[in-house]
Structure 1
Amino acid sequence: MHSLARLSRFVGKTFAFWVLLFAVLAFFAPAQFKWIGAYIVPLLGIIMFGMGLTLSKEDFIEVAKRPMDVAIGVLGQFIIMPALAWILAKALQLPPEVAVGVILVGCCPGGTASNVMTFLARGDVALSVAITSVTTLLAPIVTPALIYLLASQWLEVSAAAMFWSIVQVVVFPIVLGLVVQTLLGTKVRSAVAVLPLVSVVAIVAIVAAVVAGNQARIATSGLMIFAVVVLHNGLGLLLGYWLGKLTGMPVSKRKALSIEVGMQNSGLGVALATAHFSPLAAVPSAIFSVWHNISGPLIATLYQRFRNEDGSTGAAPR
């Protein structure tokens, strides 16, 4: 188990490489990866179950200890990224399925990768985890409502059906993970050590499945979608930092807010697009998953140079 945990840490640190590698392989050999498409929802459920195993009562106590900071982060997450997605879709006159896909990923909650990037950036990790937890638990209500509000002008949106999908693939697995953690306690610690490996394999598989299933469409419109995703992610990171600055947050919290706003649960975006729209609508989420695992380490490295309120800079603490 020790060697498996070591492998898990290595794979977790090289996440971006594996996502990019298998996205490229799936593009050039789609027949080898298309079969994974039938397992996207179960794979996302596994990731969410792992998130449930890692949550603790301290994460929810953190929400109660500083509700204003968490509320600012949650509002930033559910206002900035959806608004940016809608503005980009309108301004660039994106095709309907692509527009819906961009809006969909913008309306998703934060992903657990943001917590890791906040740690590497020497940001406020406790705040990042609290915001991720709250936005994820609010997602069954807020995400379908936002998608209905912003995307129904392009394609028909069933908010009720999406609510049930999110409950199935996000809430149930997280609650199950919390229950297992509560019942087994310290016995799950060894399992938690290999969760990065499981999560990386699941996300890589989801991305590969979407790329393989949309190889022809990506070949013709992939560069346009990639440019939109890069712009969406970059503006989210920037506006998240500015939001922290405007609300008087210290630097460590600004870092957390920036990364939390800019990085999405793109796996959920893929699952919702595949279930409720079309394979093409899943492409922005898949490309977002590839890109934010590249931009995340880059922004974390940049933020290491920003002096925190305690005067610290440099690499993340060991």
Structure 2
Amino acid sequence: MKPSSFSWVTPKLSILGLTIIMLGMGMTLTLDDLRGALAMPKEVISGFVLQYSVMPISGYLVSKLLNLPSHYAAGLILVGCCPGGTASNIVTYLARGNVALSVIMTAASTLFAVVMTPFLTAKLAGKYVAVDATALLVSTLQVVLLPVLGGAFLNQYLQPLVKLVNPLMPPMAVVTVAILCGHAISQSSSAILMSGGQVILASCLLHASGFFFGYILARMLGIDVAASRTISIEVGMQNSVLGVVLATKHFGNPLTTVPCAVSSVAHSIIGSILAGIWRLSVPSEVKD
């Protein structure tokens, strides 16, 4: 309605906002969580493999299927190569999934995003635009790894501070995501109005594929219902804000950020609907 209302958002503020979200997620990690994850290596490893196979491949295939212009294709593939989103933990709770597993999976995919995101983006999107994998690696390291480790450190050694700050982190994350996505959309508002239908369809197909194959393949691997729901949500919900920041910083065409911005809305809507449906039935593992 009024794109100029987001003109105050600068790249530095975008990175700061993402850093705050990652720091908040790091504060949810404890040694007990890590021990719990070690007790279910099959689920964590399966989720990790599905995260970095289903979504990148889906992004590539959807861009080919819809014959997306190179800048939109690059943005869609970049979203597919990003780690799981922090909102997935909340959606997992609503869907009666395994929340502890969700937190560990998000952390694992985020930590390994330092390597996986630039590598997969360069492999799959390199033919569309020139991708500087080294610069992407350094950028991901700065906005993902260090804040998450910093949050975990605070949670381990400064519990009183974390207990004071933790209630503020979810609303701050929501506001930050809304501002960053609003800024990305405002920068390309005219392009979204012109070709928004195509980008929206591509984003919905990408995330629907993640939710669907995440659940089906997890069940085929013999993983229980609660954990399969969790894996489905982790695979289907990406860190789209990271995609916006990386696309803004590393891709020459500003239109590359459009799929990343639209993606954050698409996965939230699909994930919320799925959580509403799944919430109606309690898995036997959760009942036990």
TM-score tier after normalising by the smaller chain length: over 0.9
Task: Look up the match of 2:258.
Answer: 283
CA contact (8 A) 1:110 1:263 kept: yes
Q: What amino acid is aligned across from residue 276 of structure 2 in structure 1? A: T
After TM superposition, the runs of 4+ consecutive aligned structure 1 residues lying more than 3 A away are 310-313
Distance 2:10 2:257 in 1: 11
Which amino acid is 2:59 matched to?
A
Q: 5+ residue gaps in structure 1?
A: 1-27, 314-318
Q: Does structure 1 retain, via aligned residues, the 8 Å contact 2:96–2:286? A: no
Question: Does residue 1:229 correspond to 2:188, yes or no?
Answer: no
In structure 2, how many angstroms separate the alpha carbons of the residues matched to 1:262 and 1:147?
Answer: 18
> Which residue does 1:183 correspond to in 2?
157
| 1:226-305 matches, cutoff 5 A | 226-277=200-251, 278-305=253-280
1:147 corresponds to which of 121, 128, 133: 121
TM-score normalized with structure 1 length: 0.87
Alpha-carbon distance in 2 for matches of 1:64, 1:250: 17
Contact 2:226–2:285 (8 Å) recurs in 1: no
Query: Judging changes above 3 Å, is the alpha-carbon distance between structure 1 residues 311 and 267 closer, same or farther for their aligned structure 2 residues?
Result: closer
Residues 286 and 311 of structure 1, relative CA distance in 2, 3 Å threshold: closer
Instruction: Among all aligned residue pairs of Structure 1 and Structure 2, give the percentage whose two residues are the same amino acid.
Output: 38
How many residues are aligned here?
Answer: 286
| Distance in 2 separating the partners of 1:183 and 1:51 | 16
Question: Partners in 2 of 1:122 and 1:270 — Cα distance?
Answer: 30
Shift of 1:310: 4.1
Check 1:182–1:65 CA distance in 2 against 1; reply closer, same or farther (3 A cut). Answer: same
For the Cα contact (< 8 Å) 1:250–1:309, is it kept in 2?
no
- 1:46-84: CA deviations, max 9, x gaps? 111111122211222122111111000000000000000
Q: Specify the SS of the correspondent of 1:54.
A: coil
Cα separation, 2, equivalents of 1:34 and 1:212: 8
For the residue of structure 1 that corresponds to 2:130, the secondary structure is: coil
Equivalent residue runs for 1:1-318 within 5 Å = 28-38=1-11, 39-277=13-251, 278-310=253-285, 312=287
Q: Relative to structure 2, which stretch is displaced further, 178-187 or 52-61?
A: 178-187
Question: What TM-score do you get using the length of structure 2 for normalisation?
Answer: 0.95
Query: Partner amino acid for 1:197?
Result: P
Partners of 1:158 and 1:206 lie apart in 2 by 23
- For 1:310 and 1:144, the matched residues in 2 are separated by 37
- Cα deviation, 1:146-166, whole Å, max 9, x if unaligned, reads 001100110001111100000
User: Hey, what's the Cα distance between the residues in 1 that align with 2:250 and 2:41?
Assistant: 34
* Counterpart AA for 1:298: I
For residues 165 and 156 of structure 1, what CA distance do their matches in structure 2 show?
Answer: 16
Contact 1:77 1:109 in 2 (8 A): yes
Offset, 1:32? 1.3
Q: Structure 2, unaligned stretches of length 5 or more?
A: none
**1:141 & 1:76 partners in 2: Cα distance?**
16
What is the RMSD computed on CA atoms of the aligned residues?
A: 1.5
